[in-house]
Amino acid sequence: MKKQEVQIKLENGLEARPIALLVQVASQYLSSIYIQSGEKRVNAKSIMGMMTLVLSAGDKVIVSADGEDEDKAIQGITDYLGGN
């Protein structure tokens, strides 16, 4: 399992459309991917789960991935959240 902290640099934070795009990015990978904010940890492949986090630009989260492509998954998610 790999973990990495990332600051959300998306202009409007994670609203409905950016969450849908994040779920699409996460769904490209075979690994299990989770986003953690404070004590709350949700599956990055779940739109409803991600909506419960209510994340804004500047917030820091921990991205974790476990599976055969975990390195690529972490990189893809952190790139997206970092605004790349």
Query: What is the domain extent for residue 22?
Result: 2-81
Q: Given a cut of 90, is residue 1 above it in pLDDT? A: yes
CATH of the domain at 70: 3.30.1340.10
Mean per-residue pLDDT, 73-83? 94
Whether 35 contacts 80, CB under 8 Å: no
Residue 53: pLDDT band with limits 50, 70, 90:
very high
Question: Rounded to 5, what percent of the chain is helix, strand, coil?
Answer: 35, 25, 40
Total number of domains in the chain: 1
Q: What is the predicted pLDDT for the residue at 84?
A: 79
Q: Given a cut of 90, is residue 52 above it in pLDDT? A: yes
Mean per-residue pLDDT, 31-44? 97
